[in-house]
C-alpha cells in the first residue's frame, strides 16, 4: 500500500535556488541522470558528473550549455566496477572541494548476465549498490562538513536511485550468506540479482540516515518510474517478457519525469520529513519497504555486510558520529 499524499505534485518550479551547493550525480551524462544534473545546475548548483567516460560527459556538458552557457558542470572519473578506483575518485574530489551538499547515486546497470567484477562481486551488486556505498562513505566527511557549515539539519542529502524491481523480482530479504546470489539460475536470474541490489540500496538509505541524521546528513531511496534507457540493453532474449512485467510498474514518458523523484528527495522540506524512506513517483511514500526499514536487525545487518565487504578491500571509514558526540 502506498501512502498517497494530497499535496500538489512536485514540479521543477518548486525547487529553491541551489546557488552555493556542490553536487555529484553518478551517471549524470545520460537518461534521468542527465536531467537530474541539468535541473540542479539550472538552479545554480555546481555539479560533478561522475562517470567512466570523459568523452561522454564532456559531450553531455556541451549539450547542457547550449542554452545555458554559464552552467557550472565538471567531469569526475568514476568506475563502479573497480573498488580501488573509488578511492581515487574520492581523493580527486576532495582535492577540488572541501564540502559536498548533494550526492545522487544514480548510475546503474540492469539485468546484466552473470559476471564477477575484478573485486569478486556480482557485477550488479557492486555497480548498483556496493561501489555507491563506498563512494558515499568515502565522501562522508565532506557531507558532514557541508551540513556543519550550512547550520541546517535538512541541507545535505544523499539520494539512492533504486527500483520497484526490489519488490517485484528481488528475494524476500537480503541474502547475507551469498550476496552474489550464485545459486540463482534460469532466465530470470539477472532480474533477481537486480532486485536484490536495489533492495540493498533502499535499506542503505535508512541505515545512513539512522547514523548520520544527528550530524545533518540524511539519505533517501526511490523508484524513478520506467523509461526507455540503456539500462535495458542487457535483457537479451527475455527483454520482451520482462519489459511487459516492468511496464506494470508504471512507465514515465521522459527522462525529465524520471528525474522528478530524485529532485524531490534532494531538495524539498517535504522529503526531509520522512528521511530514510522509499519514494515512488512522484513524492509518494511506499510502505512496502517498511518491512525492511522498520526492522533494526535488517538495517543493521545490511550496514555490517557492506562495511565488511569494503573493509576486506582496504576501505577504512572514520566513525564520524562518535567523533562529533
Tell me the catalytic residues: 194, 198
Q: Rounded CA gap, 123 and 180, in Å? A: 9
Place of cell 518510474: 225
What DSSP character marks residue 255? H
Percent helix, percent strand, percent coil in the chain, to nearest 5: 50, 15, 40
Are 22 and 37 a contacting pair, CB within 8 Å? no
Q: Rounded CA gap, 32 and 255, in Å? A: 5
What grid cell was written down for 47? Answer: 555539479
Are 184 and 175 a contacting pair, CB within 8 Å? no
Q: Rounded CA gap, 200 and 179, in Å? A: 10
Q: Rounded CA gap, 37 and 72, in Å? A: 10
Paired strand residues for 77: 51
Q: Cα dist. 108→5, 169, 195, 273 in Å? A: 29, 17, 12, 27
Amino acid at each position: 500500500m502506498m501512502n498517497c499524499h494530497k499535496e500538489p505534485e512536485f514540479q521543477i518550479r518548486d525547487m529553491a535556488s541551489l546557488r552555493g551547493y556542490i553536487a555529484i550525480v553518478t551517471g549524470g551524462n545520460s537518461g534521468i541522470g542527465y536531467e537530474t544534473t541539468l535541473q540542479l545546475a539550472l538552479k545554480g548548483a555546481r555539479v560533478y558528473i561522475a562517470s567512466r567516460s570523459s568523452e561522454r560527459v564532456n559531450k553531455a556538458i556541451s549539450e547542457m550549455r547550449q542554452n545555458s552557457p554559464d552552467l557550472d558542470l565538471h567531469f569526475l572519473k568514476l568506475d563502479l566496477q573497480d573498488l580501488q578506483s573509488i578511492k581515487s575518485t574520492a581523493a580527486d574530489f576532495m582535492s577540488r572541494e572541501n564540502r559536498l551538499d548533494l550526492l545522487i547515486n544514480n548510475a546503474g546497470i540492469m539485468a546484466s548476465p552473470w559476471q564477477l567484477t575484478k573485486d569478486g562481486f556480482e557485477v550488479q551488486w557492486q555497480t548498483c549498490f556496493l561501489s555507491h556505498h563506498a563512494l558515499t562513505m568515502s565522501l562522508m566527511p565532506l557531507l558532514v562538513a557541508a551540513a556543519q557549515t550550512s547550520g541546517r539539519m535538512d541541507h545535505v542529502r544523499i539520494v539512492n536511485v533504486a527500483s520497484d524491481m526490489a519488490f517485484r523480482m528481488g528475494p524476500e530479504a537480503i541474502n547475507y550468506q551469498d550476496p552474489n546470489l550464485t545459486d540463482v539460475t534460469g532466465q530470470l536470474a539477472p532480474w533477481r540479482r537486480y532486485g536484490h541490489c536495489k533492495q540493498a540500496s533502499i535499506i542503505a538509505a535508512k541505515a545512513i540516515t539512522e547514523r548520520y541524521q544527528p550530524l545533518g546528513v540524511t539519505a533517501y531511496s526511490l523508484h524513478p518510474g520506467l523509461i526507455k534507457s540503456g539500462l535495458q540493453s542487457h535483457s537479451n532474449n527475455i527483454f520482451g517478457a520482462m519489459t511487459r512485467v516492468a511496464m506494470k510498474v508504471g512507465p514515465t514518458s521522459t527522462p525529465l519525469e524520471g528525474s522528478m523523484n530524485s529532485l524531490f528527495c534532494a531538495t524539498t522540506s517535504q522529503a526531509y520529513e520522512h528521511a530514510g524512506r522509499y519514494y515512488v513517483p512522484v513524492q509518494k511514500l511506499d510502505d512496502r519497504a517498511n518491512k525492511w526499514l522498520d526492522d533494526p536487525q535488517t538495517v543493521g545487518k545490511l550496514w555490517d555486510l557492506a562495511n565488511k565487504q569494503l573493509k576486506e578491500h582496504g576501505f577504512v571509514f572514520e566513525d564520524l558520529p562518535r567523533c562529533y558526540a
